[in-house]
């Protein structure tokens, strides 16, 4: 059975997504919007976190409440553009540990090339949220998930901003256990592997490198 694709249709996410798509949005606003959207999407990504009942003593007496149980969370951005989503998710889960995977797309073959991987030592016990704003051919995300699994990570959720149908298909084919969270499923890829209409090159827009 294939994994679930969750499209986050919350009006605040959709509003900010339209702003971030705008070619006139510069790096400062792009960064702020990406961080804000990541917080809002993080709310949905963590919706199924298990809870346990605990006892708590209020100033008025004892009662029972609920607290998050189960696996601890790890956040792993795919460099570079995933970096722009880290602080937004950390705002929700400030104790999460953060790993990094460096993958770039070879511009000629469009195949992913790994150049860096540093994960929390106890990643094999964590629920990993993998961050990358763009799911285009799916090569980078699929390769990153494979690296995580090779290092013993038991459970991965992929959080992106804009996904192409082609990328969703590749991740679902390669990793049917990984749920995908996205703010939009766009129309298609162009011949250079860019998402249409997308938002352009996320890394360049985030860091002002073009
Ligand atoms: C972009 C983006 C994704 C990847 C998506 O990164 O941030 O990681 O492309 O494309 P794919 O689904 O076809 O693999 P890029 O390779 O441009 O590297 P950068 O973030 O360092 O600019
Ligand atoms: N990477 C990007 O940054 N943008 C795209 O549209 C495709 C891949």
User: What digits encode the pLDDT tens for the residues 44-55?
Assistant: 999 999 999 999
Q: Considering the entire predicted model, what is its pTM?
A: 0.96
Between CA 152 and CA 113 the distance in angstroms is 20
Asked if 201 is an active-site residue, the reply is yes
202 CB under 6 A from ligand 1? yes
| Ligand 1 pocket: which of 203, 205, 206, 207 to mutate (most atoms within 8 A of CB) | 203
Whether 105 lines ligand 1, by a CB cut-off of 6 Å, is: yes
Structure tokens at 104: 């770039």
pLDDT of residue 194: 97
How many whole angstroms from its chain centre is CA 66?
A: 26
The pLDDT score that the predictor gives to residue 112 is 87
Q: Judge if the beta carbon of residue 194 lies within 6 A of ligand 2.
A: yes
| Helices 83-90 and 27-45: angle between axes, nearest 10 degrees | 50
Q: Residue 132 has what pLDDT?
A: 98
| Helical pair 11-21 and 27-45, crossing angle rounded to 10 deg | 150
* pLDDT for residue 108 is more than 90: no
**CA 163 to centroid of ligand 1, rounded, Å:** 12
Considering the candidates 21, 29, 146, 204, report the single residue annotated as catalytic.
204
pLDDT of 105 over the 90 cut: no
pLDDT at 107: 82
| Ligand 1 pocket, residue 136 CB under 6 Å | yes
Percent of the chain with pLDDT over 70: 100
151 is catalytic: no
Q: Within 13 Å of residue 188, how many CA atoms lie on the same side as its CB?
A: 3
The DSSP letter of residue 156 is E
d(CA 65, CA 176): 35
Q: Which of 27, 79, 104 to mutate to test the pocket of ligand 1 (most atoms within 8 A of CB)?
A: 104
Question: Does the pLDDT at position 171 exceed 90?
Answer: yes
Selecting among 29, 105, 146, 174, the annotated active-site residue is: 105
84: pLDDT strictly greater than 90? yes
Ligand 2 near 145 CB (within 6 A): no
Over the chain, what is the mean pLDDT?
96
């Amino acid at each position: 059975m294939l994994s679930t694709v969750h499209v986050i249709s919350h009006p605040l996410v959709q509003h900010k997504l339209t702003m971030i798509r705008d070619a006139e949005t510069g790096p400062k606003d792009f960064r702020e919007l990406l961080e804000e959207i990541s917080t809002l999407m993080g709310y949905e990504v963590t919706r199924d976190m298990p809870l346990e009942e605990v006892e708590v003593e209020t100033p008025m007496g004892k009662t029972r409440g609920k607290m998050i149980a189960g696996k601890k969370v790890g956040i792993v951005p795919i460099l570079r553009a995933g970096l722009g989503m880290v602080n937004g998710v950390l705002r929700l889960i400030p104790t999460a540990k953060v790993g990094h995977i460096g993958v770039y797309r070879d511009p000629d073959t469009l195949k992913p090339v790994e150049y860096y991987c540093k994960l929390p030592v106890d990643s094999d016990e964590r629920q990993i949220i993998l961050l990358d704003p763009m799911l285009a051919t799916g090569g980078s995300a699929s390769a990153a998930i494979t690296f995580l699994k090779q290092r013993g990570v038991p459970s991965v959720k992929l959080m992106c901003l804009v996904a192409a149908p082609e990328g969703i298909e590749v991740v679902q084919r390669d990793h049917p256990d990984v749920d995908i969270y996205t703010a939009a499923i766009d129309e298609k890829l162009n011949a250079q592997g860019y998402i249409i209409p997308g938002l352009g090159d996320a890394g360049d827009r985030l860091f002002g490198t073009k």
